[in-house]
Amino acid sequence: MTTILKPDICVIGGGSGGLSVAAAAAAFGVPVVLIEKGRMGGDCLNYGCVPSKAMIAAAKHAHHMRHPGAFGIAPVEPGIDFAAVNAHIHAVIAAIAPHDSVERFTGLGVQVIQEAARFKDADTVVAGDVEIRARRFVVATGSSPLVPPIPGLDQVPYDTNETIFERVEQPGHLVIIGGGPIGMELAQAHRRLGSAVTVVEAAAALGKDDPELTAVVLERLRAEGIVICEHTKVVGVETPEGGGVRLRVEGGSGAGTVEGTHLLVAAGRAANVKGLGLDAAGIAHDRRGIEVTPSMRTTNRRVYAIGDVAGGLQFTHVAGYHAGLVIRAILFRLRARENRDIIPWVTFTDPELAHVGLTEAEAKKRGGRFHVMRWPYAENDRAQAERATTGFIKLVTNGRGRVLGATIVGANAGEMINLWALAVSKKLSVRDMAGYVPPYPTMSEIGKRASMSYFSSAARKPLVRRLIGFLRLFG
């Protein structure tokens, strides 16, 4: 027998964005149904951000034992228990999971249905033996690993981010297809945990970021022993005699092969739209995801799409940002429009690479006057004390000094970018950033020094010098 529900909001997908919408709606007393066919918490908790950062943390401890730096501490080769590292990863997931659980959301007043969802028509979603006829629908189904159509790939064993964290045996030689953030983070983590690692990237590694700063990251990764093959296309995959994996590749230096014991495919993400019945609901979509307006509305005005499934930037915090926009629109009828210029992102390699706003190339493309300022970590006292002097900050402002973008490469870049994300979102100027007082000694001073350098040219202007000379006459 079919049960019919008529809530105000029906959310499809129990990842970061969907959970945020459901929790906010329930907090305001709005009837809400949440549908999730898999694990609550979505990709980030179970296969993405959380397990990868847990592995990176373990790898960083191993690296520091081998390379204690100039602190007067003898290096030690750590004993790596890969199964114990895996247990650490899953313990972190387990510690966070209750916050995203069915029990918690049921307690908040959300009706949770653990079934696959599909649109029956423009006004109805079916999940198991339940029909939901909501006032508004929010599709937050996220994305899955993109598996490229490489000949032979379907004939060899390989991992994606959805399976790599289940491994309890250390890979001897991990070959990674894809040199984006996921590929490079996991490359360094596995290398520091004792595996040989080769990365094969069809374009430039970390290609979405400013190449001036990515060069610092790639130099470090190569120095740690990671082989990075850029502008190299994989044209075939096979299993050689004796096991393992062999990639047939073509690049600027011609054809060749890359061999290893294990293969990780990290070639991007594909929006989860299959099986949702989007055509039946009149929702336009393509291989990139669901088509949305800046207010996250689909071609069916009753339906919104947020997070990875809406295309664009694929980050957990973007899904949360989208959730806030949708809640404003649905509950309060407020105008809400996505602004991708204010979205920060971080690649959690060591050194970290963090960015928000426009890069120098993007500012040049948009036209108009702009300025670029840099300041090195080596000029910062805390960085010297920590022996973390690799890296710099790069700021982009318009002709009047408003902060348009910031990119940081170096220790704690992921934490330091928060201040610049605020500056970009609130349209602050370098005068504002030069005027605040950071505590000493902290690495946040690096950004302030970069801001102050904006005014250094003024000190050399004859008019300014004459003005100062004139004012000196008055005592």
Which residue positions form the known binding site? 53, 141-143, 178-185, 201, 268, 308
Token reading at 313 = 């930037």
> In angstroms, rounded to a whole number, what is the distance separating the alpha carbons of residues 166 and 466?
69
CA dihedral 335, 285, 14, 5 (to 10 degrees): 80
> In angstroms, rounded to a whole number, what is the distance separating the alpha carbons of residues 431 and 283?
46
Residue listed under structure tokens 């230096």:
253
Other residues' Cβ atoms within 10 Å of the Cβ of residue 235:
13
CA dihedral 27, 32, 34, 40 (to 10 degrees): 10
> In angstroms, rounded to a whole number, what is the distance separating the alpha carbons of residues 203 and 243?
28
Q: SS3 string of 406-436?
A: EEEEECCHHHHHHHHHHHHHCCCEHHHHHHC
DSSP character string of 164-194: GGG--S--SEEEEE--SHHHHHHHHHHHHTT
C-beta separation of 9 from 136 below 8 A = yes
Q: How far is CA 142 from CA 12, 18, 138, 334, 404, in A?
A: 10, 9, 12, 25, 29
C-beta separation of 69 from 117 below 8 A = no
β-bridge pairing 136-139 and 9-12: parallel
Which residue ranges make up the annotated binding site for FAD? 53, 141-143, 308
> In angstroms, rounded to a whole number, what is the distance separating the alpha carbons of residues 409 and 293?
33
Residue listed under structure tokens 């075939």:
236
Which residue ranges make up the annotated binding site for NAD(+)? 178-185, 201, 268
Which residues are registered as beta bridge partners of 305?
A: 139
Check residue 48 and report its DSSP letter.
S
Check residue 377 and report its DSSP letter.
G
> In angstroms, rounded to a whole number, what is the distance separating the alpha carbons of residues 121 and 119?
5
Q: Cβ neighbours of residue 8 under 8 Å, at least 6 residues apart?
A: 25, 30, 31, 32, 134, 135, 136, 330
> In angstroms, rounded to a whole number, what is the distance separating the alpha carbons of residues 80 and 78?
6
> In angstroms, rounded to a whole number, what is the distance separating the alpha carbons of residues 281 and 276?
9
Name the residue type at position 321.
Answer: Y
The secondary element (H helix, E strand) that includes residue 326 is helix 316-332
Q: Interhelix angle for 181-192 vs 211-223, to 10°?
A: 20
